[in-house]
Amino acid sequence: MAEFHITGKTALTGEIPVRGAKNSALKAIASIPLFSGPLRIKNLPAIEDVMRMTDLLKDIGAKVEMKGERELLIDPSNLKGKELNKEIAQRLRASIVATGPLLARQKKISSPYPGGCVIGKRPIDLFIEGFRALGAKVQVSESGFEARAEKLTGAHFTFKKVSVTGTETLMMAAALAHGKTVLLNSAMEPEIPYLAEFLNTAGAHIKGAGTPSIEIMGTGGKLLHSRSSFVTIPDRVEAGSFLAIGALLGSGLTITHCNPAHLEVPLAMLQNAGVAIERGSDWMRVSRPKKIIAFDLQTREYPGFPTDLQAPFVVLLTQALGQSIVFEAVFDGRLNYIDDLNRMGAHITPSDPRRITISGPTHLRGRQIDSPDLRAGLAFVIAALVAKGESVVRNIYQIDRGYERIEERLSAVGMKIKRVG
């Protein structure tokens, strides 16, 4: 099994590019059943989860051609399957998003419960309730669910809990429905309006994406026709993680190919903590301050603080002066990595499964650690960067799921990191 060997305490300088967003790319690939003909997707991150999603579509009949390292041409013309491959879906949390477009096209979908990592199985109650609201008959079993609908019919549906994947899944299903659908309490993450705008260029009629109320006038079963390429937006989670790295050990670290407007809350937190940050329309420059002032954070749905940045910022707060409280309000199981940070020398005290108190700054020491999931995995890489001595981060398969050859980009700006095995 491959692992990262990292020697800490090295200053980072130069430019580090941000790749295309995983959460944008996966939803674009999942939208393929909505289209009558080929769709070209550009600026894809070369990561494990993207390959899994394309494999999921290939398994049900889509033709996939690689057009360079970060570009795909996908043709759904001969798409026949109605059942998502169990082995692939159970290793991909985002597989559930494909069920909406597939149900809208094929009138039937059978799906296992999605998996992916140790933060748990993705709850599917919102998806089932949404499909039923659109007129589908849904049967649930211990292993998954099956939905049928001769036609989907527009409806008013309120999410009982804000859900990014739920919003995207039902928005895409409703795009081919008969009549008008209104989705209330919708998620507002940047990937959602970007996807909606692209679908609109292909013949969909979606208004309000990026707000809590989305209105979709369905095409009545008419498939969409791509008139342009889908260009994946920059990964705001990766950019935010690089911000944390720059605040810890940056010496004029410049983050390129990003969109700072998607990171207003993390940027404000860092600046209030004493970190000097310059920014342009597609770049940010950050350097380590003499001291970082401790601050509290609570994860929220967008435009709040992203849950996917919680772990990297916890590492940052171990080096901040004072006491910080972190509350994970979005996902259960997202604080499963703190024992390993404490073994490295951090002072983190759990109050309950969602709340921790961090006292800093502390001196971290290198050690061997296993990545439990992709976000905590990158947090361990960051912890190793500020630790004294050498660290070995294992199970980096989890990191590869979401970050494209992260060691090469970090090495290019001065980090002593190498992949072994």
Rounded to 5°, the CA angle 303-195-46 comes to 95
Quickly tell me which residue has 């903590």 as its tokens. 273
User: Using the 8-state DSSP alphabet, how is residue 48 labeled?
Assistant: H
Longest dimension (CA), the chain: 64
Q: For 367, list phi and psi in degrees, rounded to 5.
A: -165, 175
Q: Judging by beta carbons within 10 Å of its beta carbon (0-12, 13-18, 19+), is residue 359 exposed, middle or buried?
A: middle
Is position 258 annotated as part of the catalytic site? no
**R_g over Cα of the chain:** 22
CB burial of 44-71 (b: ≥16 within 10 Å; e: otherwise) equals bbebbbbebbbbbbbebebebeeeeebb
Which of 117, 172, 188, 358 is the catalytic position?
Answer: 117
Cβ-based neighbours of 115, under 8 Å, separated by 6 or more:
89, 90, 91, 92, 93, 121, 122
Pinpoint the alpha helices (H) of 21-98.
22-30, 48-59, 86-89
74 burial level (CB within 10 Å; 0-12, 13-18, 19+):
buried
- Residue 41: how many CB atoms within 10 A of its CB? 26
Q: Are 16 and 235 in contact (CB under 8 A)?
A: no
20 backbone dihedrals φ, ψ, rounded to 5°: -65, 150
Angle at 88 between CA 408 and CA 199, to 5 degrees: 80
Distance from the first to the final alpha carbon of the chain: 6
Distance (Å, rounded) from C-alpha 315 to C-alpha 317? 5
What is the enclosing helix (H) or strand (E) of 216? strand 213-217
162, 300 contact by CB (below 8 A): no
Rounded CA-CA distance 300/303 in Å is 8
| Residues taking part in catalysis | 117
